Structure 1
Amino acid sequence: MATTTHSTSTEVHENNLETYSLVWLESAMNEANEYIEAQKRLRKLINHLKIFDDVEQCESYMRSVPKDDRIILIISDQLGQDIEGISTKVNALVDQILLDQTTRFRNKVDEILPINIFNSGTQAEKSTTGLNGQFMFSQLLIDRLLRMKPKVTDKNELTDRCKKFYKNNSSELAIIQEFEKDYVSDRALWWYTRESFLYRLLNKALRTQDIDLLFLFRFFMCDIQKQLQKLQCSTFLRVYRGQVISKDELDTLKTSTGQFISMNSFLSTSLDRRLALSFLSSSTISGDLQRILFEIDLDPTLAGIKPFADITSSSFFTNEQEVLIMLGSIFRLVNIDCQNGVWIAHMAICSDNDNSLKPIYDYMKNEYDENDSGSSDFSFGILLFKMGQYDKAEKYCNRLLSELPRDHPDLAPCYHNLGMVANHKGKYDTSLEWFAKALEMYNKTRQPDDPVVATTYNSIGEVHFRKGNRTNALESFKKALSIRKKRFGEEHLQVAMCYHNMGNVYQEEKKFQEAFECHQKSLMIRQKYLPTDHPDIGASVHCIASIYLCLNYPDLALQYYNRALEIYQKSLPSQHQDIAMSHYNLGLLYAGKEDFQQALTHFQKASTIFHVTLPSTHPFIGIVNQDIQRVSNKLK
């Protein structure tokens, strides 16, 4: 389907790889040359064009667009006559839109900055939004992407994807062909700063974590990093970036003084404060939008910082004093205040080693390194799974399966990862099929007591447990435990995992003493070898809380559930299933205490995450919806 579409009937909302889209509403299809030429001109800067002749369909489409995307709406003919401020001359309107878009590209104040905040305060001092976990996993994702070895086919695959998206857009296709023919790694900055598909697609892919596109952009991001390292500034700089942000984002920043901030994009800044302020003051704001100027101190003598450089000599625009800061850089927010109607946020770049998440970050990064064979990118799929991004993990692993030879050693772990994804999506039979394929391959290539065989038995047990087959689950867990104790001894993290899972089975069988002993063993091992806020410790604490609740010790259960939630919010993304389960169980606890308002709050938080991370048919969604209805009725 071409990107330009006439929508006279309901259509599926196709994926727009750019942030901006054009929506053109007219009472009747106008094929006049003036209109066709106007649309061609507009698509030079905004590729995604949708044309409607039905108001309801137009409104429905706009409501379906992701909230962080931008729409430029054009209403023509009689439909626009009663709307104030609309230009009635098509060419004048197009000229103004093109000028506005060019200005937006040059000053970047309207560009969406994906900001993550790490709050180093205590749980009582921080909001319960999971910002810390999001901060850490964003850093892990960037690290893994930049360390994955690009394939020689990535560039061709990227341009093929772009050609399909920009079909019928002759101006952008010409740039893509130029890129195919002329691109070399030491011109990455020149290409990035040019107003073209590369800048638009990469920045949106980083903001939305579009794994497919980011995977293909690895070579380009690595080339930018190498150029920045080569051009790294050697003296202290203060740089400026004007930005328009929402009131909610501003409120978050205002309560984050002294905290760490990372931005999941390459950050374009200026050495000229007056220029940055002039760009900001000329920007149009409406609704709850606020103007903010970031003043950023850059000290190149600090150890463990990502590169930044004055890229004037390498930029497409050689007359600008632009300093580009590497993707994933970490800053400390020094202070924020308002001056003459503009918020000023003073930040300073800081070492990746400064924040208190470093111990758990390093530990989890090393976990993925251990899973990486050195010749593959399999551990990237594990990271996506750990982030709770099950659809993306599944898509990535299927991609690897299509690329790997039939006898490749990474096929078995790929099958295993797909089995874990299917299990968490509630597709239990599919999960067992994937694990059977993994086990079959391991049996041909590994010894029967190999730890990876134990890992597969453990995962098979988890599926049987979720299906309610407790006997089969316990049998699988005991097989895994036997192999692991023989290989590693009693005190090992993989042994702790077996005890953890066996404890869950015993709890379901109402053998609470055996369950408690298993979870205590698991927790003791994990506390000995893991960082304090590792999510596996949170899992053990959560399970002990559940046993206390079953034994009618609600106060102890509440204490342990809150501790588990605190750990998860420090170490997991905000929309992770483990956070949802913590909220759900807290909801059950408060419902039992007849504190129905608190119960409803936690059930609703759980429901929000489940609806984002699980298929609509997953049983968890129906269960939590019933609980919401139950406690809502109690509040009437």
Structure 2
Amino acid sequence: MILINDTIFLVIDGSPSTSFLEAIKSLKHIDSVFFYSSLPDIIDDINKGQYAYLVYLCETEETLIDSIRKSREELDQHIVTLSMYNIKEKATRDLSKEAGSFIFFQLFKNILKHMPTTDQAKKTMITTCRNYYRGKLTELVNIDEFDRTYKSADAIPWFVKDTFINKFINKVLRTEDVSVLYQFRFYIMDLSEQLEMKFLELKEKQKDVLRLYRHSQLNHDEVENFQRSIGNLISTNEYLLTSSIRSVAYDFATKSPKSEGFERVLFEYQVDLNIVQTIVIADVREYSTFPEQAEFLVDIGAVFQIDSCQYSVEEDLWHIQVHATNQGTDFAAEYMEYQKKKMIESNIFLMFGNLLLEMGEYAKAERYFDTILNSMNPNDEEIACIFFNFGRTHQLKGDFNRAINCYHRAYNLHMDARPKRLASAGKALNGLGIVYSEQGRQLKAEECFQRAMKLYKKSIPKKHVDVAGALINLGTIDCDRQHYDEAVVKYRKAKKIYDSSLPPDHPNHAVPRVNLGNVYLAAKDYSKACEEYEIALKLQQQSLPNDHPNIARTLHNLAIAQTHLGNIEQAKQYLERAEEIANHVLSSKHPVVSSIRKTKALMEEES
């Protein structure tokens, strides 16, 4: 018997008795049973028993060892896959608190739409599903059928069937992890595209208000959150299978057994098809096993406003009413348009890595760029861009030596090209300067920023956002030298460029504000510092995921400024939030984490 990660590989020499097989049938820890025997007939007898564990017949010692080795590799992959997909799950997002996450989720959808469909994308999804459902014979059969027969037009029929697709895709979506979602891009692209086509058909047939119903079970905290959030916007992180017949959902809601700690809920969705333009709904009853249930499928990212949340004692049922709205996407529209233009101008595969970086997912971005570099035969310019992004990744993670090497390589590749790619080389120099500045090597940093500006003057307009970035970095050098007036001038110039060049919801609008706050903090004008940091924080919370490292930095700065103003309790609250985010998304050795620890220690000493 071999024990691996609390999972048993059982090796049996010869043919076991039926009573023995029955005795081990209920043991959940047994993953695989290896029969070491030269009698092939025993495997047929065992398979007839339909045991939950995997069964292998090994006629030689070499076969036995090889089978165990392969099973161990498969099990390891299975465990990794399970841990990846069994993380936090959220079916909805409160847009009053998580606007930034919503924007990036929408960006992810747009990037998917622009990605080419490839056989490799399908293989990635199939492999992941097989790893996840290892040992689940019924689902493995379904996966094999999907692999053999699936076509894009089958996306909706496969989803409404009770198979791994329906269960796993929504589970994946609820993780909100775009690097995980990327592995399912092949199917998500198809399903959303097919839903859009069906939605156009629906709008031709129906012009008025559509009412849909869905049963669910929510825990007490989730119900209370709905009660507190009347009027708030929520967006769906999954494909919602609903019914247009109230009694169908009502019967499921009232007759299904209630899980301990959960409440039964009936959702009512009201969709005015004459008003709402940003929601996609498809009538899928023609594909359903139960067409009488009149099922409608709602696409991911649909936005609803909560109208009411009321409990019926007689029914022991919560009734939650919401209506579809365009509001959630209106505030992000310009930013989305800006990003779409960037997609057209750049490599779509690199855009996905950039999205991970902008979300603060540095480790995932690094893995992604490494995959692109080693598996997609990038050209010279793409290789240079990948190394630039490696530089950004290492810089943001605090691994400065590796960042310097990557930025140098990117710079050399751009300058060795014919013709030279001056603007891209300037960005690499700018990145180098940031790293040197972080290391306290201000002279080298200033040299890099000035060289970057010279290249920008030859290659891009004066009001380009990259010029603004270099101005901010040069302003930081001025601030470190206590040349505060000069720093403020550069920051204000950068702010004007951002104001005229970026959409209102772009996170870079916060950058000049943060740096102005830094100037006032260094100059000991703590009230003005707080004002700038508060504005920056608001901008960041509107445009970045809640746990983004930049938010942690701003919260930390606010804690320092509030401490100097004597607002200790307020400072502690800011610092606590900063520490929570930093510990979640950054390594323990990252400079931001170290700075937060130092500030916390100082505050504890003084209290």
Using the size of structure 1 for normalisation, the TM-score is: 0.78
Alpha-carbon offset, residue 35 of structure 1? 4.4
Q: Please tell me whether residue 263 in structure 1 is matched to residue 236 in structure 2.
A: yes
Q: Do 1:240 and 1:272's aligned partners in 2 also have CA atoms closer than 8 Å?
A: yes
Asked whether the 8 Å contact 1:449–1:483 carries over to 2, the reply is: no
Question: Residue in 1 aligned with 2:128?
Answer: 161
Matched, 1:420 2:387: no
| Cα distance in 2 for residues equivalent to 1:507 and 1:533 | 27
Deviation at 1:38, TM superposition (A): 7.4
Equivalent position SS for 1:323: strand
Q: For residues 215 and 31 of structure 2, what CA distance do their matches in structure 1 show? A: 26
Give the match for residue 286 of structure 1: 260
Q: Does 1:217 align with 2:184?
A: yes
SS at match of 2:561: helix
How far has the Cα of 1:586 moved from its partner?
0.7
Q: Name the residue aligned to 1:320.
A: 293
Please tell me whether the aligned partners of residues 191 and 316 of structure 1 are also in contact (alpha carbons under 8 angstroms).
no
- Counterparts of 2:376 and 2:342, CA distance in 1: 20
* Greater alpha carbon shift after TM alignment, 511-520 vs 350-359: 350-359
Q: List per-residue Cα deviations over 1:307-361 (Å, max 9, x = no partner).
A: 2112121235545321100111222323333333433222222337863332333
TM-aligned CA distance change 1:42 to 1:444, over 3 Å: closer
2:556 maps to which residue? 584
Of the three residues 374, 382, 399, the one matched with 2:371 is: 399
The answer to whether 1:33 aligns with 2:22 is yes
2:331 aligns to what?
356
Structure 1: gaps spanning 5 or more residues:
9-29, 49-60, 71-111, 120-129
Q: Structure 2 counterpart of 1:320, which letter? A: Q
Letter in 2 for 1:439: Y
Aligned to 1:240, what secondary structure does the other structure show?
Answer: strand
CA pair 599-212 structure 1, distance change in 2 beyond 3 A:
closer
Alignment partner, residue 466 of structure 1: 438
Q: Is the 8 Å Cα contact of residues 423 and 460 (structure 2) preserved in structure 1? A: no
Q: Is the 8 A contact 2:463 2:501 kept in 1?
A: no
Q: Distance in 2 between matches of 1:619 and 1:331?
A: 40
The answer to whether the 8 Å contact 1:3/1:165 transfers is no
Aligned with 1:410: secondary structure? helix
Matched with 1:182 is 149
Flag the 1:47–1:247 CA change in 2: closer, same or farther, 3 A.
Answer: farther
Counterparts in 2 of 1:77-476, with a 5 A limit? Answer: 113-119=90-96, 130-232=97-199, 233-234=202-203, 235=206, 236-281=209-254, 282-287=256-261, 289-302=262-275, 304-340=277-313, 341-351=316-326, 355-363=330-338, 365-366=339-340, 368-373=342-347, 376-405=348-377, 407-448=379-420, 450-476=422-448
3-state SS of the aligned residue for 2:330? coil
Q: 1:426 to 1:264 in 2, by over 3 A?
A: same
Question: How many Å apart are 1:529 and its aligned residue?
Answer: 2.7
2:476 aligns with one of 478, 490, 504: 504
In the other structure, the counterpart of 1:82 is: none
- Equivalent residue pairs, number: 544
* d(CA) in 1 for partners of 2:575, 2:26: 53
Contact kept, 8 Å, 1:133 with 1:573, in 2: the verdict is yes
Larger radius of gyration: 2
2:509 matches 1:537: yes
Equivalent AA in structure 1 for residue 230 of structure 2? T
For residues 372-426 of structure 1, the C-alpha deviation after alignment (integer angstroms, 9 at most, x for no partner) is 23xx421111111111111221121111112222535322211111110110001
Is 2:214–2:267's contact at 8 Å kept on the other side of the alignment?
yes
Report the Cα distance in structure 2 between the residues aligned to 1:147 and 1:407, rounded to whole angstroms: 20
Matched residue, 2:523: 551
Q: Which stretch has the larger CA shift, 616-625 or 300-309?
A: 300-309
Q: Quick one: distance in 1 between partners of 2:598 and 2:410?
A: 37
> Which residue type is aligned with residue 148 of structure 2?
K
Deviations along 1:418-455, one digit per CA (max 9) or x if unpaired, are: 11011000111111122122222212325446211111
Query: Is residue 136–residue 571 contact of structure 1 (8 Å, CA) maintained in 2?
Result: yes
Residues 422 and 458 in structure 2, CA contact (< 8 A), matched pair in contact too = no
User: Partner amino acid for 1:357?
Assistant: A
One-letter identity of the residue aligned with 1:262: S
CA contact (8 A) 1:47 1:166 kept: no
Does the C-alpha gap of structure 1 residues 332 and 3 become closer, same or farther in structure 2, counting only changes over 3 Å?
Answer: farther
**From 490, 494, 516, the counterpart of 2:466:** 494
Cα separation, 2, equivalents of 1:398 and 1:347: 43
Tell me what 1:56 maps to: none
* Residues 104, 359 of structure 2: 8 Å contact kept: yes
1:520: Cα distance to partner? 1.5
Q: Relative to structure 1, is the Cα distance of residues 231 and 491 closer, same or farther in structure 2, using a 3 angstrom cutoff? A: closer
- 1:173 to 1:429, Cα distance in 2 relative to 1, 3 A: same
How much identity, in percent, do the aligned residues show? 24
Alpha-carbon distance in 2 for matches of 1:294, 1:381: 37
Structure 2 residue identity aligned to 1:545: G
Cα pair 1:548 1:554 within 8 Å, conserved: yes
Question: Match for 1:334: what amino acid?
Answer: D
Q: Answer whether contact 2:31 2:135 (CA < 8 A) is retained.
A: no
Q: Give CA-to-partner distance per residue, 1:591-617, whole Å, 9 cap, x none.
A: 212322222111111111111111122
Kindly indicate whether the alpha-carbon contact (under 8 Å) linking 2:394 and 2:400 is maintained by their aligned counterparts in 1: yes
Give the Cα–Cα distance (whole angstroms) in 2 for the partners of residues 133 and 353 of structure 1: 11
Matches of 2:452 and 2:333, distance apart in 1? 32
In the alignment, which residue of structure 2 is the partner of 1:55? Answer: none
Question: Secondary structure, in 3 states, of the residue corresponding to 2:212?
Answer: strand
CA distance in 2, matches of 1:328, 1:555: 40
Q: Which moved more, 1:176-185 or 1:403-412?
A: 403-412
Whole-Å Cα distance in 1 between the matches of residues 460 and 84 of structure 2?
49
Q: Answer yes or no: is the 8 Å Cα contact 2:85–2:175 preserved in 1.
A: no
Maintained 8 Å contact 2:415/2:421 = no
CA distance 1:250–1:145, change in 2 (3 Å) = farther
Following TM superposition, by how much is the alpha carbon of 1:583 offset from its aligned partner in structure 2, in angstroms?
A: 0.5
The Cα shift of 1:306 comes to: 3.6
3-state SS, counterpart of residue 153 of structure 1: helix
Task: Check conservation: 1:330, 1:350, Cα contact below 8 A.
Answer: yes
Counterpart of 2:13 in structure 1 is none
Structure 2, unpaired ranges of 5+: 9-18, 33-49, 55-78
Q: Does the aligned pair in 1 maintain the 2:362–2:397 contact within 8 Å?
A: yes
Root mean square deviation, CA, Å: 3.2
* Residue-by-residue CA offset, 1:40-62 (whole Å, 9 max, x unaligned): 99999x999xxxxxxxxxxxx9x
What do the CA deviations read for 1:455-480 (whole angstroms, capped 9, x no partner)?
11111111111111111111111111
Distance 1:475 1:630, change over 3 A: same
Deviation at 1:37, TM superposition (A): 5.7
Contact 2:303–2:328 (CA under 8 A) maintained in structure 1: no
* Per-residue deviation, residues 130-170 of structure 1 (Å, max 9, x unmatched): 51212222222222223322212222232233333433433
Measured against aligned partners, the alpha-carbon deviations of 1:273-295 in whole angstroms (never above 9, x if no partner) come to 223233223242433x4433221
Residues 67 and 203 (structure 1), Cα distance of their counterparts in 2 relative to 1, 3 Å cut? closer
| Contact 1:254/1:336 (<8 A) preserved | yes
CA-CA distance at 1:588 after TM superposition: 0.6
Q: Name the aligned partner's letter for residue 464 of structure 1.
A: Y
